[in-house]
Amino acid sequence: MTHFPALPLQTERLTLRPYRADDAEAVFAIFSDPRVMRYWSTPPWTSTAQADEAIESDLRALDSGRHLRLGIERRDDGALIGQCTLFDIVAGCRRAEMGYALAHAAWGRGYMHEALQALLRYGFELLELNRVEADIDPRNEASAATLRRLGFQLEGLLRERWVVDGEVSDSAIYGLLRRDWAEARR
């Protein structure tokens, strides 16, 4: 993991860590839930084999430096409740995209905000990123609110960008610059 030093990340209530093979059942439970996948770019998973494949792929990508996907684990009980990701990392431009998902049972408790604060700190301080982008379905008001609380700005709308299970949806593009992130922390 030389591409991504200083892992796992710790917050007051969470540990952000690379996936392990034994996470497959929890990962499948999250990504097979239609409520979690409502605004995702793929339909809900239908097989635990999808979780196994995703974990294997993520571990290879982590080792190669292609992307950083971290499971979100509650510190008090060790439950894996979600994931957050820095992907499409463009080192020369010091830019990455950010993605995230949280188990329905964990919604409304501030876990994602806490996890993304730690992920952004890692990206801006350790990886020396200058810009982080997020692409969300504009109907996902909770995700938009999370991004705004973190300091992201809505930068544009890409109309009819996704077709998932026959449903066409737009993409709202949000961006956060390192200088804005640093200023907000002062």
- β-partners of residue 101 are 83
pLDDT of residue 2 exceeding 50? no
- Assigned domain for 42 exists: yes
DSSP string, 93-123: GTEEEEEEEE-GGGTTSSHHHHHHHHHHHII
* % of the chain with per-residue pLDDT over 70: 99
* pLDDT tier at 137, thresholds 50, 70, 90: very high
Q: How many domains does the chain have?
A: 1
Query: Within a 10 A sphere around the Cβ of 162, how many other Cβ atoms?
Result: 16
Kindly report the CATH number assigned to the domain that includes residue 115.
Answer: 3.40.630.30
- Assigned domain for 3 exists: no
- Assigned domain for 4 exists: no
pTM for the complete prediction? 0.94
What Cα–Cα distance (Å) separates residue 22 from each residue in 14, 18, 26, 56, 164? 18, 12, 9, 11, 29
In the prediction, which pLDDT does 114 show? 98
| Whole-number Å distance between alpha carbons of 155 and 169 | 17
In the prediction, which pLDDT does 82 show? 98
- Assigned domain for 81 exists: yes
Domain that holds residue 47: 9-185
In the prediction, which pLDDT does 43 show? 94
Per-residue pLDDT of 63-97, as tens digits, reads: 898 899 999 999 999 999 999 999 999 999 999 99
In the prediction, which pLDDT does 38 show? 93
Per-residue pLDDT of 19-66, as tens digits, reads: 999 999 999 999 999 999 999 989 999 999 999 999 999 999 998 988
Judged by DSSP in three states, 128 sits in: coil
- Assigned domain for 129 exists: yes
- Assigned domain for 90 exists: yes
- Assigned domain for 28 exists: yes
- Assigned domain for 158 exists: yes
In the prediction, which pLDDT does 165 show? 86
